[in-house]
Amino acid sequence: MYQTTVEAKVVVKPEWLRVKAPQWQRVGSVKEILRDLNLNTVCEEASCPNIGECFNAGTATFLIMGPACTRACPYCDIDFEKKPKSLDITEPDRLAEAVRRLKLNHVVITSVNRDDLTDGGASQFAQCISQVRIISPQTTIEVLIPDLCGNWQALEIILNAKPEVLNHNTETVERLYRRIRPQGDYHRTLELLRRSRELAPEVYTKSGIMVGLGETDAEVQEVMKDLRAVDCDILTIGQYLQPSPKHLPVASFIKPKQFEQWKEIGVSMGFLQVVASPLTRSSYHAEQVKELMATNPKSKSEK
């Protein structure tokens, strides 16, 4: 069992966080498609450490309605200083075309926070889902959504578009929320996941947290219990990495063995799928949900 502190200190990145150099030819071809269609990815905007691996595999997590965000979370590398632009009605078509060109079997669609919009961008999510369905009907769709400021009608708009997976990240333990996610609310996150299960029992719900920010093992397990209490299906746990000196510092690097322990605990709690490792991110190996769909299919009558 480990315990971290929130004191600012210099910690050296360990060997298990070394990322393999990507095959730039494949990365370049994915980037070329994204630039041609004028699309953003969270892989690039949030400085994801897995960008080489994912781009090499021909996958990407699309970032819609961005890249400017209306919130300023101190752990996140997405730009919050620029003014958000008006929604682009061609974005859903361009995104669907990228899915077709990349021949994706599973696509993840996320967004910046758009608190300036009445529905938080829910209608744009729905349009993107619908267009992918039209162009690539065999592709499964995962949406990683913001909290929509607790607008449950907006949540229903997204769920009515019928994604296979609805992901909303918890990000951290309740005690650290004010520091790490100052414009978010721990209980609102849980309520969003609870309502998603109630409104669309056939949709897999998913959430993730970062570790290494000062939480304790007991607090991590408490988050896991809270997520299971709202019947969350899928859990991701990954190591927080400081994007730049102006962002929150890393309190500690958690050893791979601890991630394995959390994975075992999560499975014992009833999560259908747990992805936990230092380099795990919300969308890391997201395509594995297809295996889950084959072994644990959902039905519309399921509660």
- What pLDDT digit, counting tens, does each position of 173-208 carry? 999 999 999 889 999 999 999 999 999 999 999 999
* Residue percentage of the chain with pLDDT more than 90: 57
Q: Is 286 helix (H, G, I), strand (E, B) or coil?
A: helix
Q: Is 210 helix (H, G, I), strand (E, B) or coil?
A: strand
Structural contact between residues 139 and 105, judged by C-beta atoms closer than 8 angstroms: yes
Dist. CA 264–CA 271, nearest whole Å:
10
Per residue in 127-165, pLDDT tens? Answer: 999 999 999 999 999 999 999 999 999 999 999 999 999
Structural contact between residues 65 and 84, judged by C-beta atoms closer than 8 angstroms: yes
Dist. CA 144–CA 167, nearest whole Å:
4
Q: Is 239 helix (H, G, I), strand (E, B) or coil?
A: strand
Per residue in 216-262, pLDDT tens? Answer: 999 999 999 999 999 999 999 999 988 888 888 999 999 999 999 99
* Residue percentage of the chain with pLDDT more than 70: 82
Place of tokens 């669609």: 109
Neighbours of 10 (CB within 10 A): 6
State the pTM of this model. 0.88
Q: For residue 302, is pLDDT > 60?
A: no
* Fold held by 15-295: TIM Barrel (3.20.20)
Structural contact between residues 287 and 106, judged by C-beta atoms closer than 8 angstroms: yes
